Structure 1
Amino acid sequence: MARSAAHSGPPGRDPDPGGPDPRRWQALAVCLVAGFMTLLDVSIVNVALPSIREGLNTPESELQWVLSGYALAFGLFLIPAGRLGDARGRRAVFMAGLALFTLASAACGAAQTSLWLVVARLVQGIAGGLISPQISALIQQMFSGRERGRAFGMFGTVVGISTAVGPLLGGVLIQAAGPDHGWRWVFYVNLPLGALCLLLARRLLPDTPAAGRVGPRDLDPVGVALLGTGVLALLLPFVQAQQWPGNGKWLLLVLAAALLAAFVGWEARCARGPTQPVLDLALFRLRSYWLGCLLILLYFAGFTSIFFITTLYLQSGLGYSALQAGLAITPFALGSGVAAAVGGRLVGRFGRPLVVAGLAMVAAGLAGTALAVHLVPGPGAGWAMAAPLLFAGLGSGLVIAPNQTLTLAEVPVPRAGSAGGTLQTGQRVGSAIGIAAVGAVFFAQVGPDGWADAYDHGLLVSVAFVVAALFVALADVGADRRGRRRAEREPTDTPRSTV
């Protein structure tokens, strides 16, 4: 992607013409804590599922919805919430989402039946979808140039650590509070953080300069309905892949394609009329934007599925406790956290080649993890996979934050919310596709003595997704170099005047 844009920031798009907000780093800290909570709840529940099943007598079908219901609701609301924040005010939408997330977390922890828990998780996912796109939009608004790269680097650290550290933190809470009530503290831990963030957000977060009063028609309700049903039809067969036997569920993908095509047609019509579209399709004319969205979709398909099959392999295959399984994944979280902060500082200098290097490291680290489990298939597998997972984590830190910086570099700040929401929707779609694909291969290989082989096969599918993302990044680097060569040739190729 355009290296110059990443290096210096888009010209003329400073968040504040009168100078940067002196409290911007404090405001960023509030955003990052809120982002940590919402993303942590994607993965922390994995290790709590056995305790939830015992505590609430939860059937397998409803247990799956404790996981997939959150991810589904989260993904459905990202783009509409981003548009709402752009139009109505990012601070107001952020605070509303944070208040709802905190209340829904309390409801999850207090659940007395599995249905209660599933409904509360759906509400919690909606709240997470309201919060998340405001974070990237606020970073676009508050920072520019190299500072924006640093801020996105810190956000990338949060994304990597929250996803990877979830099983560890969940294991610690269950170990401390006991299997009967430990799962409730997986949700209650959000309450003090949510309350503190809510108080600080009102004081520190900036207003949105272009925001004003908007009516329902200004938020493109037809576009929101088409997009929501299209994304639902796209995600549902993947998140329910293990619960819905047979191939009939894949017909929903045909429906999803039709609904999303209708959405594109409607948005194009809105762009020519008075209605403000929920998603500005002109963003996809920016190579930096659409390639970044495709890259992150493929990467998250490989990235998030790692933790799904690793916790299954260690707990169900090798008899690890929730805490031990979380500790085994910690090297990836540590590597990702360290490298993300570095990647945010280096992206302005190296641009897309930095992401290429990170993707190559992740692919090599995951392949090494599969080899380690093959060579040490017994209880020592957790130690054997530590070094390759650390290497993969270091690579991951050079992917997520730099890609976000490069993808949004040319996006105008007034559209930052919907652009960030679209980017994160790609992450959620990628996660659902990856977990379904990798999980299908993993479960097909599981047998009495087949846990190590199943893990090997699952990791190979994860590597395939990462390699596909690597090809996208390489294509972008090649296109960028060809563009620079053409620009260098243009002055010499222009014929001289003969006057």
Structure 2
Amino acid sequence: MTLLDVSIVNVALPSIREGLDAGNGTIQWVVAGYALAFGIVLVPAGRLGDARSRRSVFMAGVALFTIASAVCGAAQEPLWIAVARVVQGIGGGLITPQVSGFIQNLFKGPERGRAFGLFGATIGVSTAIGLVLGGLLIQLGGQESGWRLVFYVNVPIGILLLVLARRYLPVATRGPKQSLDPVGVLLFGTAMLFVLLPLVSGSQDASLSQRPWWLLGVSAVLLAAFVLWERRWTSTGRETLLDLSLVKVRSFVLGLGLGTFYFAGFTSIFIVLTLYLQQGLGYSALEAGLSQLPFAVGSATSSLLGGRLVERLGRALVVTGLLLISVALVAVDLLVPHLTGDVGLKLAPVLLLAGLGGGLVIAPNITLSLDEVEPARAGAGGGLLQTAQRVGSAIGVAVVLALFFERVRSSDGDFADALSYSLHVTIAFVLVALAMGVLDLVRRARDARS
């Protein structure tokens, strides 16, 4: 539900613009406001779940997300929907780290791998089918008001989730309350705001040079202040927002970097491919979404398989997945300039291969990144992993889209050339992730021998 709303709204933007007579600035914040709030809340929300009741935080997030979805669907003016999207992002940020925290706490060994496999399948499928579902809902509701269904569809799902969560999710045992580290939350949240703001601000076809990159310098200062504060807070014997000892867990650090670079490439694939199919070849939103279903099928299949194999194969499984998706992206790059006719159908086998590779990366990487992290820190660790993925996604989308549109302008509207050009950056991101996976594979093999 939370990940669908990252991509599904992109299809609805033209309909929202028409239905609410919204300007470009408001439309951009319908997307950016959600991403900003989502990314900023993740780590504090994971810490809150660790320190208090994870079920309560999860249910509060679901309730907030559901109410905000209903408000978005009922919006009568642009500012209304922009503010509601920010609140919806906060709800999504509360929900997501609790999921990895629950899995880390409730499952062990092979069962944990299978649970993360289901989690990874959900991530892969929801990311890939967002465009399809958005196109179907808009077609069902009509161009003028179909966008409201994109938000209203969350309401019955959210209500059902609240009922099931209350019945099935465990209540945390009552122990001594841990410190919530409010100063750390403020410093880290503001730093993440200044990291994400230049990445999500500005129109999608704006040049990279037009973004407020100076904010990254401010973010670096705030992160340095955050580390100093966390050390001081630790010296008082109180719990911190982030356990700084996590940086000493090499599997966590390498998994964090791998996830960041993989999501930088993974997320941007769908956007540039959709732009190529819709604007370059004239596909409808629904047709473009359906063309990417092979990726969703491959990802769902291999995610379930990867969850069962991660305990046996370890980091080699992730490296294999990254190799498969790298080969598939290179194949797309080589094929597109020479394809005619039904391009979406002809790309299906390659996208299926990419999906099979992608499904072996997301969930196994989460499992392996957290396998040496104490369960009591699972929420904070999972929240940091999710934050890194969101930041990686924002970086990838900002860089790849800017390069895509610049190439379209310089090549007189050659969308195939623009796709190939932007794919080079996407492939580079995935190869960096592959290098980190190989490093962790070699480290684990060396540690096993010693």
Is this a same-fold pair by TM over 0.5?
Answer: yes
| Separation in structure 1 between the aligned mates of residue 235 and residue 155 of structure 2, nearest angstrom | 45
| Separation in structure 2 between the aligned mates of residue 307 and residue 115 of structure 1, nearest angstrom | 28
Could you report, residue by residue, the CA deviation over 1:160-203 in whole angstroms, capped at 9, with x for unpaired residues? 10111100111111111111111111111111110011011111
CA contact (8 A) 1:88 1:212 kept: no
Equivalent in 30, 39, 47 of residue 75 of structure 1: 39
1:64 counterpart = 2:28: yes
How many residues of Structure 1 are paired with residues of Structure 2 in the alignment?
446
1:446 counterpart = 2:408: yes
1:104 counterpart = 2:68: yes
What corresponds to 1:4 in structure 2?
none
- Residue 76 of structure 2 aligns to a residue whose secondary structure is coil
The one-letter amino acid of 2:277's match is L
Could you report, residue by residue, the CA deviation over 1:249-268 in whole angstroms, capped at 9, with x for unpaired residues? 11111111111111111112
What corresponds to 1:281 in structure 2?
244
| Separation in structure 2 between the aligned mates of residue 187 and residue 58 of structure 1, nearest angstrom | 17
Equivalent in 168, 174, 188 of residue 227 of structure 1: 188
The one-letter amino acid of 2:16's match is I
Equivalent in 274, 290, 295 of residue 327 of structure 1: 290
1:365 counterpart = 2:328: yes
- Residue 344 of structure 2 aligns to a residue whose secondary structure is helix
The two structures, once aligned, show a CA RMSD in angstroms of 1.4
| Separation in structure 2 between the aligned mates of residue 210 and residue 484 of structure 1, nearest angstrom | 38
Deviates more, 1:78-87 or 1:304-313: 304-313
The CA deviation at 1:248 is 6.4
Could you report, residue by residue, the CA deviation over 1:290-324 in whole angstroms, capped at 9, with x for unpaired residues? 11111000000000011111222222222211110
1:424 counterpart = 2:386: yes
What corresponds to 1:481 in structure 2?
445
Could you report, residue by residue, the CA deviation over 1:66-94 in whole angstroms, capped at 9, with x for unpaired residues? 11211110010000000111111100000
| Separation in structure 2 between the aligned mates of residue 210 and residue 289 of structure 1, nearest angstrom | 29
The CA deviation at 1:239 is 1.0
| Structure 1, unaligned runs of 5 or more | 1-36, 488-499
1:18-167 matched pairs, under 5 angstroms: 37-167=1-131
The one-letter amino acid of 2:356's match is L
What corresponds to 2:132 in structure 1?
168
What corresponds to 2:278 in structure 1?
315
CA contact (8 A) 1:157 1:338 kept: yes
What corresponds to 2:230 in structure 1?
267
CA contact (8 A) 2:259 2:389 kept: yes
Deviates more, 1:256-265 or 1:127-136: 256-265
The CA deviation at 1:326 is 0.7
1:403 counterpart = 2:349: no
TM (norm. structure 2) is 0.96
What corresponds to 1:18 in structure 2?
none
| Separation in structure 2 between the aligned mates of residue 360 and residue 461 of structure 1, nearest angstrom | 16
| Separation in structure 2 between the aligned mates of residue 484 and residue 213 of structure 1, nearest angstrom | 38
| Separation in structure 2 between the aligned mates of residue 414 and residue 259 of structure 1, nearest angstrom | 26
Deviates more, 1:59-68 or 1:336-345: 59-68
Equivalent in 184, 193, 197 of residue 161 of structure 2: 197
| Separation in structure 2 between the aligned mates of residue 461 and residue 147 of structure 1, nearest angstrom | 36
TM (norm. structure 1) is 0.87
Equivalent in 254, 258, 263 of residue 221 of structure 2: 258
Equivalent in 408, 416, 419 of residue 455 of structure 1: 419
CA contact (8 A) 1:329 1:389 kept: yes
What corresponds to 2:307 in structure 1?
344
Equivalent in 297, 301, 318 of residue 355 of structure 1: 318
Deviates more, 1:131-140 or 1:203-212: 203-212
Identity %: 57
CA contact (8 A) 2:199 2:211 kept: no
Bigger-Rg structure (1/2): 1
Could you report, residue by residue, the CA deviation over 1:224-249 in whole angstroms, capped at 9, with x for unpaired residues? 11101101111111112547764561
Could you report, residue by residue, the CA deviation over 1:4-35 in whole angstroms, capped at 9, with x for unpaired residues? xxxxxxxxxxxxxxxxxxxxxxxxxxxxxxxx
The CA deviation at 1:381 is 2.1
The CA deviation at 1:414 is 1.1
The CA deviation at 1:210 is 5.8
1:209 counterpart = 2:173: yes
1:282-301 matched pairs, under 5 angstroms: 282-301=245-264
Could you report, residue by residue, the CA deviation over 1:117-165 in whole angstroms, capped at 9, with x for unpaired residues? 1111100000000000000001111111110000000000001101111
- Residue 213 of structure 2 aligns to a residue whose secondary structure is helix
CA contact (8 A) 1:86 1:210 kept: no
- Residue 44 of structure 1 aligns to a residue whose secondary structure is helix
CA contact (8 A) 2:201 2:211 kept: no
